[in-house]
Structure 1
Amino acid sequence: MQNKSQQAAGTVVILGTGGTIAGSGDDVGYTAGQMSVQALVGAVPALAGRQLEAEQVAQVDSKDMSHAIWQRLAQRLAHHLAREEVAGVVVTHGTDTLEETAWFLQRVLAPAKPVVLTAAMRPATSLQADGPQNLLDAVTLAAWPGAQGVVAVLQGRVHGPAEVRKRQPFALDAFESGEDGPLAVVQEGQVRALRSWPSGEALGLERIAADAGTWPRVDIVVSHAGADGVVVEALVAAGARGLVVEGTGNGTVHASLLAALARARAAGLPVLRASRCSGGAIVGSPEGALPTAGVLTPAKARVELLLQLLLPPSS
């Protein structure tokens, strides 16, 4: 039974966006985003009697996540977080782009109240469905007075927005926080904090106020054996406003690709380098190296560069 001292007085709002957690079918050939968020809540008996509200923001497979959904989700989160009676908000999401959404929301909102993303590796109809427990843990965390910021909870582990990454394509225990480890664990309705919660200054909704269809194009290019500058040149010609390079090892980039990226920078395009390694952060910045994204994965580095390009022009 949950320790009542760990519960905050207030409502937990659950925003649905689709994903495998709302999927139907077998464990591999399922269709994501088939069940409503209200149905997901109703399928977890332990949530009965809790102060909950549910709202459907989107219904997509998260591989198809869009800037427009991000914008709408951030707006709805800001609305609910501003309500005095709301203790926290849960977002049900697909696993494929969860880490990008987490970083986007943390940078835009940096909320004092918890925003808890959760997901599932098996559809709701699976014999191994992991969604119900993950949803229960997410509601528990969203109601816990010690939580803040945008986090993700899966398999009982709470991950921060900068560190969380999907490391495995099929296993139930698919997410990790790299060398830093999880922020907390949720076990049998109890939250045990392990390190500091995410914080920082919010960029604000005004940063993303423009029509999402007009947001600047930011693309990711990959360094690998035999790489050249053809993709960079094509993306620049297609209207890219910024580029992230997924480097090898410690963010290293093939010489031919590096030359093309240097030309793009000379033409005014910002470029960030990240690493394709599954853990750790880029260390150091040798002379002549491209600016580093540090601990951010290439996908999160793309989000960061996008948000920087959305900075309003100086008056």
Structure 2
Amino acid sequence: MQPKILIIGTGGTIAGMADDAEKPGQYRAAALSVAALLAGVSGLEKAAAGPLDAVQIAQIDSKDMHDGVWHALLEACDAAMRDEGVRAVVITHGTDTLEDTAWFLHCCLGRLPKPVVLTCAMRPANALMPDGPQNLKDAVAAAAACDADGQPLLREVVAVTGGGELHSARWLQKVHPHRLMAFASGEQGPLGWVDGRRLRLRQGCAADTQGAADGYTGSQWLAALPQPAQKAWPWVEIVSSHAGLRAGLVDALLSQGVEGLVLATTGNGTVHEVLLSAAERARQQGVAVWRSSRCSEGVISDAVLPGPADLAADLAVALTPCKCRVSLQLALVQAQAQA
């Protein structure tokens, strides 16, 4: 029997419903099941070039994403990577925290033996011109894409975000609150493009299929990450450096037991003197403090982040505060597991 593409539903705008189809900005996210989404997209199995299966692991607005859903996603992806009956995974997700989830999976799954493709929508499913059906179809086509030898073209976590653009989780950012093309990858640009049936990778982004199985780390992270229902993941918060800053926020977080701080710095890693003093107090109390930048493009030029080499070595952790927060949280999990 031909292996299937597994589609995992988490909710989001792609599964949303508006009370009035002519007012797509007013809607309820996560109103439809993933099965209902699949039923509404014609030609999906043709795009997959094979069978499809679907599972619902969450049905939430992605602004409310939490560690429990991430753990369930990692479990589902890990099982799929080891299941010979599954050849790829597609995840339907809300746009608000898509880059957070994509980065989390990128960090945990490592080098992929099979594609993991996230997709989303900016309009609800019953809008007059919804974007979700085409995005889902494009995501399935990207997940199904193979080279001349029948090997998957994609070996990293990616996202199909609109207009057929394919973005790497390493650089993906939501850059606009309501336009259909709401995502970008800054200076890096899209990884490729897909039109519902064919994937075209940007020149220089050809798939490297060597050592994919050896680089897979999902099972290791599942062993390290605690079940959120039994034990909370490390508490990491983002504090922005800005004009007129006061130290009270950091002091309040320290008094409540925060375990890690990400400083969303100004420019090339600069920090307000008040926040710099507060961060030093945090370090003296054993709280991990990492830096990111408020800038939407580029990286802090001297960014050398502490923690596991596989997390610190990727400069994308210095791109956005939300990705830096995920990386620090994982570094703290790993440190606790090794203690």
**TM-score when scaled to structure 1?**
0.91
Counterpart for residue 214 of structure 1: 232
Helix, strand or coil at the partner of 2:27 = coil
- What's the offset of the Cα at 1:293? 7.0
> Does the CA contact (< 8 Å) of 1:228 and 1:254 recur in 2?
no
> Does the CA contact (< 8 Å) of 1:18 and 1:61 recur in 2?
yes
Helix, strand or coil at the partner of 2:254 = helix
- What's the offset of the Cα at 1:118? 0.2
Structure 1 residues 285 and 64: CA distance shift in structure 2, 3 A: closer
Structure 1 residues 262 and 256: CA distance shift in structure 2, 3 A: same
Structure 1 residues 76 and 294: CA distance shift in structure 2, 3 A: closer
> Does the CA contact (< 8 Å) of 2:15 and 2:33 recur in 1?
yes
Q: How does 1:132-281 map to 2 (within 5 A)?
A: 132-144=133-145, 145-155=152-162, 156-194=164-202, 195=205, 202=217, 204-211=221-228, 213-281=231-299
Helix, strand or coil at the partner of 1:28 = coil
Q: How does 1:77-116 map to 2 (within 5 A)?
A: 77-110=77-110, 111-116=112-117
Q: 2:10 aligns with which of 8, 11, 17?
A: 17
Cα distance in 1, alignment partners of residues 123 and 96 from structure 2: 13
Map Cα deviations across residues 198-223 of structure 1 (whole Å, 9 max, x no partner): 97562521121343542111000011
The one-letter amino acid of 2:143's match is: A
Map Cα deviations across residues 253-296 of structure 1 (whole Å, 9 max, x no partner): 1011111001101211111111111111111259xxxx997543
> Does the CA contact (< 8 Å) of 1:184 and 1:192 recur in 2?
yes
- What's the offset of the Cα at 1:128? 2.3
Cα distance in 2, alignment partners of residues 271 and 225 from structure 1: 20
Structure 1 residues 251 and 74: CA distance shift in structure 2, 3 A: same
Cα distance in 2, alignment partners of residues 188 and 19 from structure 1: 21
Helix, strand or coil at the partner of 1:204 = helix
The one-letter amino acid of 2:257's match is: G
**TM-score when scaled to structure 2?**
0.85
Q: Gapped runs of 5+ residues in structure 2?
A: 146-151, 305-311
Q: Which moved more, 1:223-232 or 1:206-215?
A: 206-215
Structure 1 residues 197 and 224: CA distance shift in structure 2, 3 A: farther
Counterpart for residue 39 of structure 1: 36
- What's the offset of the Cα at 1:197? 5.8
The one-letter amino acid of 1:192's match is: R
> Does the CA contact (< 8 Å) of 2:187 and 2:298 recur in 1?
yes
Cα distance in 1, alignment partners of residues 90 and 77 from structure 2: 9
Cα distance in 1, alignment partners of residues 280 and 255 from structure 2: 15
Map Cα deviations across residues 133-175 of structure 1 (whole Å, 9 max, x no partner): 0000111111112112211112211111110000000000000
Structure 1 residues 253 and 159: CA distance shift in structure 2, 3 A: same
Cα distance in 1, alignment partners of residues 196 and 27 from structure 2: 29
User: Sequence identity, in percent?
Assistant: 47
Q: Gapped runs of 5+ residues in structure 1?
A: 1-8
Helix, strand or coil at the partner of 1:221 = strand
The one-letter amino acid of 1:211's match is: P
Cα distance in 1, alignment partners of residues 121 and 233 from structure 2: 30
Structure 1 residues 233 and 259: CA distance shift in structure 2, 3 A: same
Q: CA RMSD in A?
A: 2.0
The one-letter amino acid of 2:226's match is: A
Answering whether residue 38 of structure 2 is matched by residue 30 of structure 1, we say no
Helix, strand or coil at the partner of 1:243 = strand
The one-letter amino acid of 1:296's match is: L
